[in-house]
Structure 1
Amino acid sequence: MQSNKLRMAIRATAAAAVLGMASQAGAVSFSAGDYDVNVYGYARLNASYDVDSDQSLSTRSGSYDGLAGNDDAPEGHFGADAVQSRLGFKTTSPEGLNVTVEGDFRPGNLRLRHAFGEYKGVLMGQTWSNFTSFVGNTATLDFDSLPGLAGLQGRVAQARYTTGALSFSLEEPNNGIVNNSDTKDSMPAITARLEDSAGGMSYSAAVLAHQVGYDDGSDDESAFGFATFVAAKMALTDMITIQGTLSYTDGANSYLYRSGDNFGADSAYVDSSGDVETISGYGGSIGAGFNLGNGRSINIGYGLVEVDWDDAEDDGVAVADQSESNQAVMANYKWTPLKNVMMGVEYQFLKRENVDGTDGDANRILFAAQYNF
């Protein structure tokens, strides 16, 4: 029982870090008949100043799109929004059935984040991909965070079964072919994940397999791709943690976090004979957190992803402007001046290099204020 409590605490802590300290701890709870109901969420302001080219997305996250070859771009850009603000509902029936529905306003309209039911380890609906872990993530103010984090770091429709530390799922697939618009999904993505803890360490490992293919009416070709990751977090002292992730993909770069213009890169290409050829990639992140006490903390992290376009280039596929390498360094200071309020400031350095050698970088400063309920 103690081990289960520790495992749940670590998972909750990791999830809170990656989501900007969002939590149901301060949720509004009440009973409606025999149902227990929680209403939770937060209001959040994000602001950014781009010292170099304007790389901001909604939530003021940094983008790799257009970063390479940006030397002549206008400099000095400020922006702010509140679209990360979130609202969620969770109900528990007398039989123990949990139902969650949650949304936010990114990029400016109400967006469905989670909508799923869960009963005795069986989950169906939309929520975080089972090929995701927050265990090794460094807490950042940037909503999209570092490249190279573990797995998809996104939410998909799925059917999942969890027993103890193991979970298995069939999920909506992500299929991308660099030089073909006739992509076809013929089967779900299949995943398996182990996530547990021992002493001061929490860890996670997962594998994914999916089919990547196309059908243009005359040719119907496909190949199998796979992806895997490991992630870990170690508490060195009561004040210091270190964490990291490692990922490898072959034919599943859509699951290699932030490997493309902003998120996943294409997973395959079509050669001159019409065959689907897979593209491999790898990535990772490393970081440290320092708890200064009194609701104050410092977090630093580095992330890197690399995609191997050599075979596609040798086969004459036009990939010169594809991202070969994305990197980021992020460092922040966060503080909690009172309960359920978080404020922070973060420095970012982003760098991208394309297949043709064109590169570019950007310096950014972020500010955030979040009010949980």
Structure 2
Amino acid sequence: MHERIRSLACALMAASCPIAPQAAHAATAREEQLEARLEKLETEMAQLRSDLTQARQQQVRDAAAAQGAIAAANARSEAAATRIAAVEAKASGPATAAATVPAAPPADGFRSGNSAINIGGYIKLVATSSHFSDGKVATNTFGRDFYLPQAIPTGSGQSTDATDFNAKQSRLWVDVNTRLGDHALKAYVEADFQTSPGIQASKRTTNGYNFTLRRAYMQFDRWLIGQEWTTFQYVPALPESTDFVGVTEGTVFARQPLIRYSLPIGKQATLHLAMEQPETGTVDTGSPTIIENGDERIPDFVARLALKGGIGELSLAGLARQVRVQNGGRDASTTGLGVSAAGKLWLNRSKTSDLRAMVTYGHNISRYLGLNFAPDAVYSPATNSLESVDAMAAFAALHIALGTNWRANVMGSWQRVYYSRDLAYADIATFNRQAWSGAVNLFYSPYRNIDLGIEYRHGERDLVDGDNGNLDRLEFAAKYSF
């Protein structure tokens, strides 16, 4: 641009040669002023270009610094999460999944303040075809919904068949995890429709059922307070089944309010100590109907040692409780004691196949076994005393992975009841003596969140007087977990 102006100035000078010297001098002065102004403008433009370049460089440096700050913040956040996970691991120890606070907020949840919230559950349809050898089980009862050995008809009644569909086992849970400095706080609520106390609509129309509490507890570091699986039970031993329980007569099974403290002992062991809700279920001589008394003065006390190793898991539990009745002139009490051992043995390195089992012996603790297959004790009006009931229960199950999407389970379960010898035969003739069952199933998971299963089960129930009955059931289940 400057060169073009200089050329134009020369042309003007050449054209003005015939002009008077004074005019030529004036033109030269104007040209010098113009050149000075152009040089100043070029200097200012160069300065602007320099300033712009510096600004762009500073912007790049600022962006890099911001990215570095973000990376540093992420690193600090990950380090904090690692420290919190260590605190939680120390607090919960290698306990069962039901009593463990997650080490980090769930990836698929959401946040509210400093709490991570996760919602989940599943939709499950169960379709059963049942054959009862010696009678009929009423519709819309637990004996039709899932395997309940005490509901099997006995005697010499006519055999019956029944087909049932239901979605009562569908479940919903909410899990909340909050960070309080170096402490971990957890809240958990879980409910379904299976054990609802009442029915809102019949199977003929809308099939509506009550939403029922299963579990609801808070956990602060090593303390768990609320309603949870009893500490006496080793939940991970339960086999995979289309049924609601699967090995009903052979397993410890109870959910109830409790206060539990979990103490890690090294890296592979945790000691759980708990005080749990007391409740006495007794029968009167001559009547097998179980009565809930609610007359206990002290809670049930439970201790369980959970061990984990390279070849499997082991749980050893002990229970001590008071069994008591006090109403209508009755005033009697006795002691209940029980022990239980359960665990898993891995059958491959990937831990996708295993052998699992449980063995339990109890003296006046039958409400913890087989969904109260037998009473805790028998009340004798003649002596105003509680006569003891002992029980032995066990189950074993083989879980076999058949490739990536297929798996099979084979299970057997058994319980035997022993009544006090001070009871006359007539007093206990219609009481449960024994139950056993066997089942085999096959599961297919075409996708991660979908499980399809089919299962065959045979179960038998025997009374003290020799009457018995059996059940044969073919069951299909489809479940979508979310």
Q: 2:221 aligns with which of 101, 109, 120?
A: 120
CA distance in 2, matches of 1:305, 1:140: 19
Cα 1:10–1:237, aligned 2, differ >3 Å: closer, same or farther?
A: farther
Aligned to 1:160: 260
Please show how residues 1-373 of structure 1 align to structure 2 within 5 Å. 11-12=96-97, 28-52=108-132, 57=142, 60-69=145-154, 71-95=156-180, 96-106=184-194, 107=196, 108-151=209-252, 153-164=253-264, 165-179=270-284, 183=293, 184-216=295-327, 218-238=329-349, 240-258=353-371, 263-271=372-380, 272-309=382-419, 311=421, 313-314=423-424, 318-373=427-482
CA distance in 2, matches of 1:319, 1:195: 38
List runs of 5+ in structure 1 lacking aligned partners: 16-24
Q: Give percent identity, aligned residues only.
A: 25
CA contact (8 A) 1:149 1:303 kept: yes
Please tell me the residue identity of whatever aligns with 1:254.
R
CA distance in 1, matches of 2:408, 2:106: 24
CA contact (8 A) 2:275 2:300 kept: yes
Deviations 1:168-202 (A, max 9, x none): 11111231221185832211111001112111210
Please tell me the residue identity of whatever aligns with 2:148.
S
CA distance in 2, matches of 1:113, 1:154: 10
Deviations 1:269-321 (A, max 9, x none): 2333212222111010112111001221010000000001252543x662211
User: Aligned-pair distance for 1:33?
Assistant: 1.8
List runs of 5+ in structure 2 lacking aligned partners: 1-85, 100-104, 197-208, 265-269, 286-290
Please identify, of 106-115 and 155-164, the stretch whose mean Cα deviation from structure 2 is larger: 106-115
- Bigger Rg, structure 1 or 2: 2
Cα 1:210–1:121, aligned 2, differ >3 Å: closer, same or farther?
A: same
Please identify, of 160-169 and 52-61, the stretch whose mean Cα deviation from structure 2 is larger: 52-61
Please identify, of 60-69 and 200-209, the stretch whose mean Cα deviation from structure 2 is larger: 60-69
CA distance in 2, matches of 1:8, 1:76: 49
SS at structure 2 position matched to 1:177? strand
SS at structure 2 position matched to 1:303? strand
User: Aligned-pair distance for 1:154?
Assistant: 2.0
Deviations 1:93-116 (A, max 9, x none): 221210111111124210011111
SS at structure 2 position matched to 1:229? strand
CA contact (8 A) 1:147 1:327 kept: no
Please tell me the residue identity of whatever aligns with 2:408.
I
Cα 1:66–1:338, aligned 2, differ >3 Å: closer, same or farther?
A: closer
Cα 1:9–1:274, aligned 2, differ >3 Å: closer, same or farther?
A: closer
Cα 1:213–1:49, aligned 2, differ >3 Å: closer, same or farther?
A: same
CA contact (8 A) 1:231 1:246 kept: yes
CA contact (8 A) 1:176 1:266 kept: yes
CA distance in 2, matches of 1:276, 1:313: 10
Please identify, of 346-355 and 84-93, the stretch whose mean Cα deviation from structure 2 is larger: 84-93
Cα 1:284–1:148, aligned 2, differ >3 Å: closer, same or farther?
A: farther
Cα 1:308–1:47, aligned 2, differ >3 Å: closer, same or farther?
A: same
CA distance in 2, matches of 1:182, 1:285: 27
CA distance in 1, matches of 2:461, 2:448: 39
SS at structure 1 position matched to 2:421? helix
Please tell me the residue identity of whatever aligns with 1:161.
Y
CA distance in 2, matches of 1:330, 1:173: 33
SS at structure 2 position matched to 1:76? strand
User: Aligned-pair distance for 1:135?
Assistant: 3.6
CA distance in 2, matches of 1:332, 1:368: 11
Q: Which has the higher contact order (CA 8 A, sep 6+)?
A: 1
Please identify, of 136-145 and 97-106, the stretch whose mean Cα deviation from structure 2 is larger: 136-145
Cα 1:128–1:207, aligned 2, differ >3 Å: closer, same or farther?
A: same
User: Aligned-pair distance for 1:137?
Assistant: 2.6
CA distance in 2, matches of 1:189, 1:243: 27
Q: Number of matched residues? A: 354
Please identify, of 271-280 and 46-55, the stretch whose mean Cα deviation from structure 2 is larger: 46-55
SS at structure 1 position matched to 2:333? strand
TM-score of the aligned structures, taking structure 2 as reference length: 0.68
CA contact (8 A) 2:401 2:408 kept: yes
CA contact (8 A) 1:312 1:319 kept: no
- Alignment RMSD (CA, Å): 2.6
Please tell me the residue identity of whatever aligns with 2:262.
T
Deviations 1:190-230 (A, max 9, x none): 10011121112101010111111111354422111111100
Cα 1:150–1:348, aligned 2, differ >3 Å: closer, same or farther?
A: closer
SS at structure 2 position matched to 1:337? coil
Please tell me the residue identity of whatever aligns with 1:43.
I
Greater helix proportion = 2
CA contact (8 A) 1:135 1:203 kept: no
CA distance in 2, matches of 1:203, 1:196: 5
TM-score of the aligned structures, taking structure 1 as reference length: 0.87
